[in-house]
Amino acid sequence: MAKTADHTSKLPRKPHAPKPRPDEHVRKRSGADLQNGWLARHGTLTLTDERLVFVPTPLDTGLGAKRREMLLGDIDTLERFPRDPNSMSQGGKRARMLVHTDECIYEFMVPDLDSWIDTMEKMFVLREQRGDGPRPPVLREGIENFMLLDE
C-alpha cells in the first residue's frame, strides 16, 4: 500500500550500493535525477532483473552523492506523480516516478516517465510469474500498459 504524504523522501544513510555487474541482465537504463529534499542528484538509473540501481555522475559523487539500490522485492508501491499525465502538480513540480520502500520514497525524474513505469510494471509481472513474490501496486491513471494486454 502507498505510504502517506508524511512518509519521508529523505534518503537513508548507507554505504555506496554496488554498481550494476556485468552478469546482471539490464532491462532499461537512462539518465535520471534522484530528488533528495530540495537537492537533485544527476546520474544513471538501471533496471535489472533483481534491482533498480542509481549511479550518480562523477561530479555528484564528488559532492557526496551515493550509489543507491532498491531490490525489486523490497518495493512496496510504484507511483506516478502526478498520477494522471494530463493533470498538473501543485507548485508545478516536474513529473516523477515514486518508488516506495519501507525505508523511504525514492523520487526519480526520468525521460520517458511512463515507459519507465511500463517496463517496471512488466518486470514485476515476470517476477511474480517466476514465483518471486507478489507484484506491488502501480498507482497511475489514464494510461494503459500495452505490455500487459495479454495478462
In three-state secondary structure terms, 56 is strand
**pLDDT(116) > 90:** yes
Instruction: For domain 26-139, give the CATH number.
Output: 2.30.29.30
- Cβ 81 vs Cβ 93: under 8 Å: yes
Reported as type and span, the H/E element at residue 26 is strand 26-36
Cell of 135: 507484484
**Pairing relationship of beta strands 26-36 and 105-109 according to DSSP bridges:** antiparallel
Whether the per-residue pLDDT at 5 is higher than 70: the answer is: no
Which residues sit opposite 51 in a β-bridge?
71
Question: CA 113: distance to chain centroid?
Answer: 10
Domain boundaries, the chain: 26-139
Q: Are 136 and 123 a contacting pair, CB within 8 Å?
A: no
Q: What is the pLDDT of residues 20-48, one digit of tens each?
A: 999 999 999 999 999 977 788 999 999 99
- pLDDT band for 11, please (50, 70, 90 cuts): confident
What average pLDDT does this structure show over 116-122? Answer: 96
